[in-house]
Each structure stands twice: as C-alpha cells, then as structure tokens.
C-alpha cells in the first residue's frame, strides 16, 4: 500500500480522497524541522505540506522513495524545485484556489483601517469612549495602489473598483488592466498617489526586502500599508518607524519574516503596540472554502500523477495530461533533455518484443518526460536497461 504524509493541518478532504485511492495516510498538525521530517518520510511516497515545511536538497537526497510533493497553498518557495526535479520528485501547488479568500481579507483590512476600527477597538478595551470622526474616511474615491497584478492583485482590482476606489497598479511584467485600473510607470509613481498600498508579489528570493525604508518614505502622507504576500518582502522595522512618526496612519500585516511552526506557539511583534494596526497569523487564504478547494485540487494532482503519470500543473516537470492506461502496464521515464533518448528507450522495448500501445512526450528546459503504455509487462532486465539509458533521472512503473 502506498503511503502519504500530510503535514500542517491540511484539510481532511485531502486525506479522505487519498485513502479512497488506496493510500495509507498519516496526518500531522504542525510543520517538522529537517531531521524530524527526514525520519517521518521513511517509506513515504507522497508528501503534503503548506508554507512552513521546508523540503530542502538534504531532505530530498535522504528520501529516495518520495515520488511527489503537494504544496497545499499558493507558493512553492519552501521546496527546492531544482533538487526535486533532479531526484524525479514532481511538485504541485494550488495557485488559484484561495485567491478570493485573500482578496476579501485585503478589502476588509482597507475598510477597517480607513475607519480606524483597530484604534477604536483598542480604546474601548481600555475604557476610553472616543466617539470621533477624526482620521476616519470612506474608501469611496480613495486611490488603491496594488503592487503585483497577478491573480490576487487583478481580482482585488475589480472588487476595489466596485467599492468606488480608483485603482493603480505596478508590475514588472506586462499585464492587462481590468476595468478602469491604471498601470503606474514606476513603483514611486504608485506610492506617491496611493491612499492605500497593498503588496501581492511572489516568493522569489529577489523579492527579499523589496519594500523597505525608501519605499515607505515615498508613500503618501496618512496612507495605509497592507502586506498579505510574503513575510520577507517588507521591512517591518521601517514600517514601525513610519507608523510611530505619524507618516502612515495604519497597517495590516498577515505574514512575518519568522513565523511559528504551528498554532498555539508563542509569537511576538514590535508592531503589536501600534494604534491603528491589524495583525493576523498568516490567514489570508485560511477560509474553510479555500482550504477545502485546495485540499481537493492538490490531492487530485497527486492522485493523477501517481495513478496515470500526469504532470498537469506541476511546477518543476514537463507537462503531460494523460488518460487511462491503454495497455497492460504504463512506464514513466524522466530524463535529461538529450537527443536520442526516446529512440533508445523504444529500442530497448523493441529488443524484448514489447509493443507500444500509446506514447506521450514532453520536454521543458533541461528535462524530458515520456510516458509509454505497453502491451505486456517488461522484465527486470528491460527495466534495468531503461534505467541505464543515458540521461535517465527516474523510471517509474505505474
């Protein structure tokens, strides 16, 4: 029986679905440090994680049986994708499943900060009745600056316009503006105009410290700042200085440079004593609807890879979408993208008089991936010969 390990409190739907497909499933609530992760992966075929578990080169080398990793979240920067590809480990994620949940929280943060709800709540909790319109604004007519106009940024753009906001955005790539949104020619242009700035960039290493002292200094007086993207993107010390000085009127932060591994762990932040601040524990995509959708989506990708060899929406493998096996057995062959590999593979099969009933090939970058349906099962000698084909990374019998 194949085995799957699901960490970080992944939605129960994923475990239920994998069990229905014949997997022994082990679930854990928190993330695991490297040594514990390696020990827990003994005999495991599929690994499911969220954002706190780091699947490093060391982990992958120590776990040769591992076949695929499912990231039940948007990002995959917690996985060494190149090392995974070198080991023949397919990696999948859910790039769209929690978009709406993140967008709704951003809208909520904007309205609450503009109305100074955190500050009023803080005052009431400490016995102060502060019934005043001072510093409180409608969002209608205000300018929202969106840094990063991908799936989340573009959907936020539409909802913000529906609230009557003017939307400008900045992105390094050419993006189609939705509705009446306007593309800023530079980040500085966006910051100078925006009453609210929200960050939606990806987890690439080059974005570390992307938003720091200089960017905060260029923000409009009295503006608010929101980060629900990655914890390492924004300099929180610089943010605190601009809140303390009164330059910024409020902020919402959902992601932090260092976060606890599991719920219930202690957490401290220098921003906690700010007046008009919203601090949330990385819950941008944490709605029941989003987590169920992610559980369904990623579990399906893992099942299709295990049962059919399909690499649809894998982030580190050539893309093949496959139907049911048309022969007696199916073989997946991952290899370096060298000329002649496919010909040699078919030559090996022909030498044992095995007919090919169907075959699909895809190449991407340095990798090639071919899936072959065979009329009868190959011998051990033939499988060894397939492994010995020059450039072979992995041969998997499905």
- Which residues are designated catalytic? 230, 259, 282
Q: Positive or negative, the Cα torsion across 65, 68, 62, 330?
A: positive
**Residue 272 φ then ψ, to 5°:** -60, -25
Residues in Cβ contact with 376 at an 8 Å cutoff, skipping those fewer than 6 apart: 327, 328, 329, 354, 355
H or E, element range at 336: strand 329-336
In the structure, how many helices (H) and strands (E) does the chain have?
13, 16
Cα torsion for 195, 196, 197, 199, to the nearest 10°? -170
> Over the range 282-315, which residues count as b (16 or more CB within 10 Å of their CB) and which as e?
bebbbbeebbebbbbbbbbbbbbbbbbbbbebbb
The alpha helices in the chain, defined as continuous H runs, are 12-20, 34-40, 57-62, 81-86, 99-114, 117-125, 151-162, 187-193, 213-218, 236-244, 288-308, 341-351, 380-387
Question: What residues have CB less than 8 Å from 43, skipping those under 6 apart?
Answer: 3, 65
Asked if 192 and 218 count as a contact pair (C-beta separation under 8 A), the reply is yes
């Amino acid at each position: 029986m194949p085995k799957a390990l699901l960490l970080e409190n992944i939605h129960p739907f994923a475990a239920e679905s994998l069990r229905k497909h014949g997997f022994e499933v082990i679930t854990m609530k928190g993330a695991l440090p490297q040594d514990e992760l390696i020990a827990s992966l003994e005999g495991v075929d599929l690994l499911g994680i969220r954002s706190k578990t780091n699947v490093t080169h060391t982990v992958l080398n120590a776990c040769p049986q591992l076949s695929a990793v499912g990231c039940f979240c948007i990002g995959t920067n917690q996985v060494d994708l190149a090392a995974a590809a070198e080991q023949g480990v397919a990696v999948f994620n859910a790039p769209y499943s929690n978009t709406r949940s993140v967008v709704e929280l951003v809208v909520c943060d904007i309205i609450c900060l503009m109305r100074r709800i955190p500050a009023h709540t803080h005052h009431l909790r400490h016995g102060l009745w502060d019934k005043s319109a001072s510093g409180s604004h409608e969002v209608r007519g205000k300018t929202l600056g969106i840094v990063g106009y991908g799936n989340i940024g573009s959907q936020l753009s539409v909802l913000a316009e529906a609230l009557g906001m003017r939307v400008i955005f900045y992105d390094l790539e050419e993006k189609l503006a939705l509705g009446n949104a306007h593309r800023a020619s530079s980040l500085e242009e966006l910051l100078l105009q925006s009453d609210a700035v929200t960050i939606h960039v990806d987890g690439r290493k080059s974005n570390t410290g992307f938003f720091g002292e200089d960017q905060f200094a260029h923000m409009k007086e009295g503006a608010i700042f929101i980060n629900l993207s990655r914890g390492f993107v924004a300099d929180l010390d610089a943010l605190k200085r601009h809140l303390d000085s009164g330059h910024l009127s409020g902020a919402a932060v959902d992601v932090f440079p260092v976060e606890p591994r599991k719920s219930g762990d202690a957490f401290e932040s220098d921003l906690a004593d700010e007046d008009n601040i919203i601090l949330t524990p990385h819950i941008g995509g944490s709605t029941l609807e989003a987590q169920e959708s992610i559980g369904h989506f990623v579990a399906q990708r893992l099942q299709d890879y295990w049962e059919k060899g399909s690499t649809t929406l894998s982030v580190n493998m050539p893309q093949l979408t496959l139907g049911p096996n048309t022969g007696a057995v199916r073989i997946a062959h991952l290899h370096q993208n060298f000329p002649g590999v496919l010909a040699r593979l078919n030559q090996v099969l022909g030498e044992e008089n095995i007919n090919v009933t169907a075959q699909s090939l895809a190449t991407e970058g340095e990798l090639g991936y071919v899936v072959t349906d065979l009329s009868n099962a190959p011998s051990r000698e033939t499988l060894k010969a397939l492994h010995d084909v020059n450039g072979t990374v992995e041969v998997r019998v499905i």
